[in-house]
A = this chain, B = another copy of it.
Amino acid sequence: MKKSFLFGISVLFSLSFGLIAQEKIERWNRVELSFQTIFKGNGFQDVEFKAIFVHQDTTLTVSGFYDGDNHFKLRFMPTRLGTWKYSTQSNVPGLAKKTGTVQCIAPSTKNHGIVGTNGSLHFSYADGKVYYPFGTTAYAWNHMGAELQQLTLNSLQKSGFNKIRMCVFPKNYDLVKEEPSLYPFVLQETKRDAQGNEVKIWDYTQFNPAFFQQLEKQIDALQNMGIEADLILFHPYDKGRWGFDAMPKEVNIRYIQYLLARISSFRNVWWSMANEWDYVKSKTIADWDELTKTVVKADPYRHLCSIHGATASYYDYWKPEFSHVSVQDESPVQSPNSAAMLRNVYHKPIVLDEVGYEGNLTSRWGRYSPETMTHLIWNGVVGGTYVTHGESYMFKDHRDTIFWAKGGKFNGESWKRVGFLKQILEEGPGPMSLSDVSRDNVTSSGGKGHYLVYFGKQIQDYWMFNLPINNGAFGKLTAGTRFKVDIIDTYGMTIQTLPEIFETEKERDYRFFDKDYKKIRLPEKPYLALRIREIR
């Protein structure tokens, strides 16, 4: 028997289990208890193994899992500072009644904890730091060869992305048909069907630990870069090749339980029940509801959880299992007020996880210009929502990796603009919301005295300084407030601070103008924004 702790990402200590536990673990990092024991039957389904972790009035029940070769593991993420006591329960004597303590210490600088919503319209880390999701998409990057996976990580490293949508199961779809080297289940046999096609028969009672270890390694690599893994648990892009989209219900449930026992303790995972759930023909809405409840029940930490459908297919996101809305639709990003409507409807954070992609495919979902991709992301953010990036360029043929599908290199332009926008938000006081909802579709407030005005495609040679009296949840704007203005070229990625000071006079028809009706000369370009900040 041994006991191991994972500090940070990659440092693994092995300690004799017999020691009095005085090991220290950062809050929201991961502890791994490891046990080797003899047992009867199938380690994946005949062994019950869990631990109760207690900290004052907090009790978390954490499932262990079989990792093959007579090894059982149990991973835990302490959510509160101080001493956690644990004791294990099992139907295998070698796993039962193990007790110990975990000493949870303050997190290091880069560790802000798990991302949550706090019941608000926005996201924040557990330590309170605001989290602005700026994600990209690489559905099957983790099923590619090792070299390509590393290239993807390198690309992400130099980008501003802090979230990635990725599938647990491999993908069989146009432009991504690679056979993975690892499978989640043990292969029982390979048959040929009546048409002569190869059909893999899986032993659904035997998970393949190597498959999950590889996934875990990459989730940790993402965490190391501050990137949340928005893990897609099911998807329709299988089409009879492996059958993971059409497994029996009890296998789906065991798969969720096994996956979550392994990785709930990773602080940077989000659960995306599906990509395009309504294209998964084998599952009904009742099935999805049951699978979602299975996820929530198996997750002691309540990681973020949503589900993604086909274009304009809105699941019942108001169900309490869903922490936020993850939707595929172009409509909400056609203007900030459309995006804002979804906030007003759901009272949850909105992530527009698929609005189309920058690229050059013939399919209309994959041929946005970089300007359009950037513009749609701005529209969503100004409306108080978040928009996921994606890139689908094919210059040669199937050897193009296409970031959207396989990862690799970014070939587009919008990915840099996403980092630029993220920096602007992070420099501000907080998340954006339309200042005067349903009336003013260009002015967004990030706090008292802090605005972004986004002009989108509109080109104009000047703008008369004016702001609405309404200011979201931040109270009304008043006369005599003084402001500085920056002109932001959202595509050119420049910020120019104007020398003038603007001062509001009395309200005129729901708005404030500068006391001298000062105007701002604008470059005659589209995609300009203004950052307007109160001088205090």
- Proximity bits, A335-374, B CB within 8 Å = 1, else 0: 1011011101110000000000000000010000000000
| Chain B proximity of A432: nearest CB distance (Å) | 16
Stretch at the interface among A26-34, A137-145, A310-318, A411-419: A310-318
| Chain B proximity of A330: nearest CB distance (Å) | 5
Is A534 an interface residue when CB atoms closer than 8 A count as contact?
Answer: no
Name the B residues within 8 Å of A338 (CB-CB): 331, 334-335, 337-338, 341
Q: Does A344 lie within 8 Å of B439, measured CB to CB?
A: no
Give the complex CA separation of A438 and B364 in angstroms: 12
Is A276 an interface residue when CB atoms closer than 8 A count as contact?
Answer: no
Q: A335-B334, A438-B330 given as contacts; is B364 within 8 A of A313 (CB)?
A: no
| Chain B proximity of A161: nearest CB distance (Å) | 25
Is A329 an interface residue when CB atoms closer than 8 A count as contact?
Answer: yes
Pick from B329, B337, B341, B510: contact of A342, CB below 8 A. Answer: B341
Is A437 an interface residue when CB atoms closer than 8 A count as contact?
Answer: yes
Give the complex CA separation of A338 and B340 in angstroms: 11
Name the B residues within 8 Å of A439 (CB-CB): 311, 330, 364
Q: Does A341 lie within 8 Å of B335, measured CB to CB?
A: no
Is A332 an interface residue when CB atoms closer than 8 A count as contact?
Answer: yes
Name the B residues within 8 Å of A341 (CB-CB): 312, 329, 331-332, 338, 341-342
Q: Does B331 lie within 8 Å of A337, measured CB to CB?
A: yes
Give the complex CA separation of A344 and B509 in angstroms: 35
- Give the contacts of A135-160 with B (CB-CB under 8 A): none
Q: Does B332 lie within 8 Å of A335, measured CB to CB?
A: no
Give the complex CA separation of A313 and B510 in angstroms: 20
Name the B residues within 8 Å of A335 (CB-CB): 334-335, 338
- Give the contacts of A467-511 with B (CB-CB under 8 A): 509-510
Copy total for this chain: 2
| Chain B proximity of A324: nearest CB distance (Å) | 15
Give the complex CA separation of A439 and B331 in angstroms: 8
Residue of B nearest to A309 (CB): B344
Q: Does B345 lie within 8 Å of A438, measured CB to CB?
A: no
- Give the contacts of A284-340 with B (CB-CB under 8 A): 311-314, 316, 318, 329-332, 334-335, 337-338, 340
Interface residues on A, range: 20 to 34
| Chain B proximity of A321: nearest CB distance (Å) | 14
Residue of B nearest to A362 (CB): B509
Q: Does A364 lie within 8 Å of B334, measured CB to CB?
A: no
| Chain B proximity of A347: nearest CB distance (Å) | 8
Residue of B nearest to A437 (CB): B312
Name the B residues within 8 Å of A331 (CB-CB): 337-338, 340-341, 437-438
Q: Give the residue among A311, A330, A341 with the most B Cβ atoms within 10 A.
A: A341
Residue of B nearest to A328 (CB): B438
Residue of B nearest to A383 (CB): B331
Give the complex CA separation of A311 and B316 in angstroms: 23
Name the B residues within 8 Å of A340 (CB-CB): 312, 331
Give the complex CA separation of A332 and B364 in angstroms: 25
Residue of B nearest to A345 (CB): B314
Q: Does B329 lie within 8 Å of A364, measured CB to CB?
A: no
- Proximity bits, A418-453, B CB within 8 Å = 1, else 0: 000000000000000000011101000000000000
Give the complex CA separation of A337 and B341 in angstroms: 12
Q: Does A437 lie within 8 Å of B311, measured CB to CB?
A: yes
Give the complex CA separation of A338 and B441 in angstroms: 13
Give the complex CA separation of A17 and B356 in angstroms: 70
Give the complex CA separation of A318 and B344 in angstroms: 14
Q: Does A510 lie within 8 Å of B438, measured CB to CB?
A: no
Name the B residues within 8 Å of A342 (CB-CB): 341, 345
Pick from B316, B329, B344: contact of A314, CB below 8 A. Answer: B344
- Give the contacts of A29-69 with B (CB-CB under 8 A): none
Residue of B nearest to A316 (CB): B318
- Give the contacts of A270-287 with B (CB-CB under 8 A): none
Name the B residues within 8 Å of A344 (CB-CB): 312-314, 329
| Chain B proximity of A444: nearest CB distance (Å) | 14
Q: A337-B338, A338-B338, A345-B314 given as contacts; is B510 within 8 A of A329 (CB)?
A: no
A interface residue numbers (CB < 8 A to B): 311-314, 316, 318, 329-332, 334-335, 337-338, 340-342, 344-346, 364, 437-439, 441, 509-510
Besides A312-B340, A312-B341, A364-B510, 8 more A-B contacts (Cβ < 8 Å) are A311-B439, A329-B344, A330-B439, A331-B438, A332-B341, A334-B337, A335-B338, A338-B338
- The contact sample of 20 A-B pairs, CB cut-off 8 A, is A311-B437, A312-B341, A312-B344, A312-B437, A312-B438, A313-B344, A314-B345, A318-B318, A329-B341, A329-B344, A330-B439, A331-B337, A331-B338, A331-B437, A332-B341, A334-B441, A335-B335, A335-B338, A337-B338, A345-B345
CB-CB nearest 9 A-B residue pairs: A331-B438, A331-B337, A330-B438, A314-B345, A312-B438, A312-B344, A338-B338, A312-B437, A331-B341
